[in-house]
Structure 1
Amino acid sequence: MISTEDLHFFIMLTNAASLADAARKLGVTPPAVTQRLRLLEARLGMRLIDRSGRRMVLTDEGELLASNARRICDDIGNLADTLASRRGSVAGHLRVIAPLGFGQRYVAPAIAEFRTLYPEVNASLMLSDRPASISDDMWDLMVHIGELRDSSLVSRRLAPNRRILCAAPCYLARRGELRYPDDLRAHDCIALRENDEDVTMWRFTPKDHGAPANVRIEPVMTSNDGGTVRDWALAGLGIISRSEWDVAEHLNAGRLVPLLGAWTQPDADIVALISSRHGRSLRATRFLELLHASVLQQPWLPRNGSEHPERGKCAKDPRADGSGARATAV
């Protein structure tokens, strides 16, 4: 026998490029994914995926299971939504995907609050550095930050979010200030790799409406974790271009300093994407309302009387001991 969790697991596999990719999306190790697939195949008594090459290829039986799994999961979800709506309750399985750092800091608390308000809802939050790569049959709602490549997805703007070029005061004292974007070529730059974006092309527009400037940086360090990138900058290791939500408190306290004030970078608004399959459920609609009300307040921005400048020192890099497993230096 197989369960609906098995069906959801197999759907995830069919949407992944490899077992390692599936492991990243599920937040587990590749051996754990391989073992779960073997157990599923053993229960069914048939091979579902050909793993002899570098890519996964569904067998005929795997194709049959995948197509029926999607239909069954959709039917179960729709039935649960219909029954819940008839009795006027919010129930079912709420599945949310969000970026790593923002999801931990703002989406996870919102889900906890939502679960308290609607105890009949089961909720799962998947944090990923590449959320846009996950098929919409795996989620009800996705939080996305930055450029939206698929314009066919229904989206709702949650909050504005600027990109800010910044560095620690001790780095600037050691390496000097910047006057123009081209000055970045002579500095240590740190890049965040996420959403398959071209992270080494930094774009600037002058506030006086002059000609834009695009600079191809050569990062000295990269990571797929925004917190790691921010902490490297706080430690005085280089210049970063980060979302305002992630660096606002450090800018306010003077631990980071904004650079190139006469120039702006493209905004990276925070939006909610709604699944075409599941995003119209009552639970998804109610959670979107709660999340929008929470994020719209932009809790990362300083409030009156909250400024406590601490300029001049660099923070110790908490990942200097090698504990930052996701960090990659180049």
Structure 2
Amino acid sequence: MVTHEDLLFFQVLSTSTSLAEAARRLNVTPPAVTQRLRALETRVGVKLVDRNPRGLRLTDEGELIATEGVNIAHALEDLAERLSKRTEQVRGNLRVAAPYGFGRRYVASVMQSFAATHPFVTVKLDLSENPVRQVAETCDLIVHIGALPESDRLVTTLAPNRRILCAAPAYLDANGPIRHPQDLSAHKCLALRENSEDVTLWRFAKNENESVTVRIKPVMSSNDGEIIRQWALAGMGVMVRSEWDVVEDLEAGNLQEVLPEWRPPSADVVALLHARHGRSGRTSAFLQCLRESLSPVPWRALK
């Protein structure tokens, strides 16, 4: 028997160039993907994927599941949604994706409360470095921060969030003042690799008519924002980090804003909703809970 989750899994697999790519997008290990594929092939009784040096190739049966499976998965969810409307209960599978740090701090607790309030909904939260790229196909709602990628999803803003250039007071005392963004080329910079953005190109604007772009040479970089923050707190260099992540450190004096008159581009917190499922009862109910949790904006209420 092929389940709804099997269809979603095979949808990701069929659009990947390799098992390793599928594993990254599903946030699991390649052996786990191989094991799940074998189990699915055993249940349906036919081979679905051929592997060769050039990558993956779907068999005729695999092509059938890839083509028809999406329609079947959507039909099952639509049926569950129509039934839930008759009973006035929110039902079905809710799949949410978010960046690591923000997801841990602000999304996980909302999902916990949502699951407790709606016992007929099965919830799944995927945290990853780049949820739009890695798990987009299988999610009803994606929390995204930063430059918006090209997407056919509906976009709605959840909360304002600006980026802040900052460093530990000890670093600034030891390495001299920063009076202009161009001075950063002579300073130790910490770069966060995220969302496929050019991490060595930092942009700043002083007003509508005055802006500058600086090409930095990072002395340290990571794809984990918490690691970058800890390095900055340790006095290892200057970083650009989201307001939601550093406001407490700024208030406590552990970090100091640099060049406050020059601001990096804002990175509002937004929700990307699947065009087909964006208005389902479970997605709409969760989106409302998420909005309420971010109003008033937590990181600005601290100021």
d(CA) in 2 for partners of 1:132 and 1:138?
10
Contact 2:25 2:135 in 1 (8 A): no
In structure 2, the partner of 1:116 is 116
Deviation at 1:264, TM superposition (A): 1.0
Deviation at 1:178, TM superposition (A): 0.7
Contact 2:157 2:269 in 1 (8 A): yes
The one-letter amino acid paired with 1:199 is: V
The one-letter amino acid paired with 1:295 is: L
Off by >4 Å, runs of 4+ in structure 1: 134-137
Q: Does 1:37 align with 2:37?
A: yes
d(CA) in 2 for partners of 1:233 and 1:52?
45
In the TM superposition, what whole-angstrom CA distance separates every residue of 1:172-193 from its partner, at most 9, and x where no partner exists? 1221221111111111111111
> CA, structure 1 residues 276+210, in 2 after alignment: closer, same or farther (shift >3 Å)?
closer
Contact 1:252 1:302 in 2 (8 A): no
Contact 1:95 1:138 in 2 (8 A): yes
Contact 1:137 1:278 in 2 (8 A): no
Q: Does 1:273 align with 2:272?
A: yes
Worse-superposed segment, 126-135 or 94-103: 126-135
TM-score by length of 1: 0.87
Worse-superposed segment, 232-241 or 145-154: 145-154
d(CA) in 2 for partners of 1:235 and 1:18?
40
Contact 1:80 1:91 in 2 (8 A): yes
In structure 2, the partner of 1:250 is 249
In structure 2, the partner of 1:65 is 65
In structure 1, the partner of 2:142 is 142
Contact 1:159 1:271 in 2 (8 A): yes
More helix by share: 2
The secondary structure found in structure 1 opposite 2:69 is helix
Deviation at 1:210, TM superposition (A): 4.5
Deviation at 1:86, TM superposition (A): 1.1
Contact 2:25 2:133 in 1 (8 A): no
Contact 1:139 1:278 in 2 (8 A): no
d(CA) in 1 for partners of 2:231 and 2:46?
49
In structure 2, the partner of 1:317 is none
Deviation at 1:136, TM superposition (A): 4.9
Worse-superposed segment, 277-286 or 29-38: 29-38
In structure 1, the partner of 2:202 is 202
CA RMSD of aligned residues (A): 1.8
In structure 1, the partner of 2:105 is 105
- Paired residues in the alignment total 303
Deviation at 1:38, TM superposition (A): 2.4
Contact 2:146 2:267 in 1 (8 A): yes
In structure 2, the partner of 1:216 is 215
d(CA) in 1 for partners of 2:198 and 2:95?
28
The one-letter amino acid paired with 2:213 is: N
In structure 1, the partner of 2:12 is 12
> CA, structure 1 residues 248+55, in 2 after alignment: closer, same or farther (shift >3 Å)?
farther
d(CA) in 2 for partners of 1:300 and 1:16?
38
Q: Tell me, which stretches of 5 or more residues in structure 2 are unaligned? A: none
What aligned pairs does 1:157-168 form with structure 2 within 5 A after superposition?
A: 157-168=157-168
Q: Does 1:295 align with 2:294?
A: yes
Identity %: 52
d(CA) in 1 for partners of 2:38 and 2:47?
9
Contact 2:190 2:238 in 1 (8 A): yes
d(CA) in 1 for partners of 2:214 and 2:112?
41
TM-score by length of 2: 0.94
The one-letter amino acid paired with 2:128 is: S
